[in-house]
Amino acid sequence: MKSLVSVVTILCIVSLSPTAMAVTFSDVTQQANLNNYPDCRASAWVDYDRDGYLDLLIGSEGGVNRLHRNLGDGTFSNVTLEAQIPYRSGIWGVNFADIDNDGFDDLYLSARAPDTFSAGRNVLLHNSGLGYFDDISDSSGANVPGGGVAACFAPFSKGPFVDLFVPNQYYPSREFPFFLSNNGNNVFSDETGFMGLLYSDWWDIPIAFDYDNDGRLELFCTKDFHGNSMYDQPYGHTFINVSDSLHFQTSCGYGATVGDVNNDGWFDLYITNWHDYTDKLFLYDSAQRRYRDNTSAWGAPATTWTSAAHFADFDNDGLPDLFVTGAGTGNTYYHNQSGQRFTNLTSQAGLTNYGYNWGASIGDYDNDGFLDIFVPEYLYGNGGKLYHNNGNNNNWVEFELEGTHSNKDAIGAKLVLQGGGYSQMRQVIAGSGFGSQNSLVQHFGVGQDTIIGNLWVFWPGTGYDIYDSLIVNTRYHIVEGEALAVNGEPVYFPKDFRIVKTYPNPFNSQTQIEICVGQPCNLTVDIVDILGREVKSLLAERLEPRMLTLAWDGTDQRGDPISSGIYFCRVTNGIDLNSSRLLLIK
């Protein structure tokens, strides 16, 4: 595993040219045996039994929280009793993470309470790995008073275990959130004050992500009428409120999601708004280091009374689409048009539903490479809807990460996927939307591409791994610092050097070639023609680990201009070889 390199240095700022292939969804709730469960508020996709299929946890306002095991044939079995999921009313938030790195994800339930100002206590359930959960709320120190609608797990300390942040919205005797530091022995310590989070406020939905690409996790939180807040850790520990400089305020922020909607290498924000206030789309302006309101420019309508939101590439065209739920306003599905605009295709996609919809969650439950949606419904006894993605002919690739030096779920890891003229970025996030959690498996659509250039995995510590020769329509299991595998079988071990990108390409006068050198080696870099004949030598020397940029001006070894055509940059250490195609146009 290599030392950390800035994501910005390797991310090609070019949007994928998507292949427009619409997708539709089918309501399969009844066929999947998920019908007739009322009072749903929250949901999460997780493979709790490690059988390779995503299971579904549904949190209930009425108290009957349910775990549904995926049988692998499109149906689910209610295993709530045998799994020992407790009856607890007022559950608005559900989160999973492997708190002790034993390979099985544990469950945290956030209780807003049946009576707004009479909160119960939150619940932490340890996954035994034997099909049931043990309540360790008291012994772990995580049984903090309820009053919030969500929580999030994240390795804020960059250690091997995930910490737990619990917002507080309604609990009357304490107006502060809880920051629970993971001691690594299934015990958490309250370090709220030490972390600088003793802010008296109205805390709603937290999301832990790296908005400024500095390798540290920041903490974002919506706060209803109290604005939105971003807390940075510039000195590696204590949080500092940096909200004023980011310009992402809304009138009544409720739910939120993050994603790189234009594939420019920076995470953008969509914030839902309650009451009669409208949702907002904020794109990150890296030059000014702030967010800008692009709601109108992107065609996002003045939606009100919304709750959850999720960016996800539902049609596998390489661009994140947007799904939003609303209380009485129903679902809205926005298709991402070329990384420049959203188009409302709710009706065409078959997602119209004007119920009181809440904490939706996204995951590929049938392992077909297309993301599906579960939408909890609170009123009228409907319980919720499972929408199966019917797919199209676009290709995809999925990655399940496993940390070794970092936390087992690799929460906080950032992935950059590079292909023919595009880059996409994801981050492993345990809690977003509105009291919900998407699958931790990272999904990328790649359109009609059949070859994937590189995958960079920036682990939530100080290291990264690089993989290439990836096959489309495959789910990979990646263990930190080890070989990439499919179904447990290793298929590729990353080399110690890699051509990161060439730009511009095609080119006329000059092209830049970026190379990552992972460890000391004797490296030779040549330009060759399509027959493998050397045209020009660019480098032949011993190098230490570094990012290297070379230039080629379309001349041969004598400095004479050569004709237009296809050439290759060839990099070798005498054993391994890496090459990249170049197109010279005159």
What local confidence, expressed as pLDDT, does residue 170 receive? 61
Same domain, 454 and 336: no
Quick count: other Cβ atoms within 10 Å of Cβ 556?
Answer: 12
Do both 559 and 412 map to the same domain? no
Q: Is it the case that residue 109 has pLDDT exceeding 90?
A: yes
Shared domain check, 432 and 382: no
Asked whether residue 27 falls in the same domain as residue 55, the answer is yes
Per the structure, the complete domain to which residue 578 belongs is given by 497-584
| Same domain for 474 and 362 | no
Q: Which of 301, 299, 351 is nearest to 325 (CA)?
A: 351
Residues of the chain with pLDDT > 90, as a percent, come to 56
Cα torsion angle, 61, 64, 65, 70, sign: negative
Domain finish residue from 457, 492, 527: 492
**261 — pLDDT class (breaks 50, 70, 90):** very high
CA distance 515 to 529: 20
Least confident of 102-116, 392-406, 471-485, 567-581: 102-116
> How many domains does the chain fold into?
3
Closest CA to 256 of 207, 323, 297: 207
- CATH assignment of the domain containing 541: 2.60.40.4070
* Position 112 pLDDT exceeds 90: no
Q: What is the pLDDT of residues 545-562, one digit of tens each?
A: 777 889 999 999 999 999
Q: What is the mean pLDDT of residues 506-534?
A: 88
**Which domain-ending residue is among 389, 415, 448?**
389
pLDDT tens digits, 430-461: 999 898 999 999 999 999 988 787 899 999 97
Domain boundary among 470, 492, 514: 492
522 with 477, same domain: the answer is no
More confident residue, 313 or 175: 313
What one-character-per-residue DSSP string does 182-231 give? E-SSS-EEE-TTTTT----S----EEEE-TTSSSS-EEEEE-BTT-EEEE
H helix or E strand, kind and range, residue 496: none
* Contact of 35 with 493, CB cutoff 8 Å: no
Is residue 281 a contact partner of residue 259, using CB atoms and an 8 Å limit?
no
- Residue 174: band (very low, low, confident or very high) from pLDDT cuts 50, 70, 90: low
Q: How far is CA 500 from CA 454, 496, 544, in A?
A: 8, 12, 17
Q: Calculate the alpha carbon distances from 208 to 154, 166, 257, 466, 586 in Å.
A: 6, 12, 11, 24, 48
| CATH code for position 300 | 2.130.10.10
Exposure letters 216-246 (e unless 16+ CB within 10 A, then b): bbbbbbbbbebbbbbbbbeeeeebeebbeeb
pLDDT digits (tens, 9 = 90+) for 319-367: 999 999 987 778 999 999 999 999 999 999 999 988 788 889 999 999 9
- What span, in angstroms and rounded, lies between the C-alpha atoms of 516 and 580? 13
* Mean pLDDT for the chain overall: 87
- Which pLDDT score is estimated for 118? 43
pLDDT on residue 120: 67
pLDDT band, residue 173 (cuts 50/70/90): low
Highest mean pLDDT among 96-105, 410-419, 475-484: 96-105
Same domain, residue pair 159 and 261: yes
Q: Is the Cβ–Cβ distance between 122 and 143 less than 8 Å?
A: yes
Other beta carbons within 10 angstroms of residue 445's beta carbon come to 29
Task: Say whether both 517 and 482 belong to one domain.
Answer: no
Q: Specify whether 523 is located in the same domain as 557.
A: yes
Q: How far apart are CA 417 and CA 549, in angstroms?
A: 20
CATH code of the domain containing 463? 2.60.40
Do 82 and 209 have their domain in common?
A: yes
Q: Are residues 74 and 141 in the same domain?
A: yes
- Give residue 171's pLDDT: 56
pLDDT at 426 over 80: yes
Share of the chain above pLDDT 70, in %: 89
SS (H, E, C) 407-448: CCCCCCCEEEEECCCCEEEEECCECEECCEECCCCEEEEEEC
pTM, two decimal places: 0.81
Tell whether 102 and 121 lie within a shared domain: yes
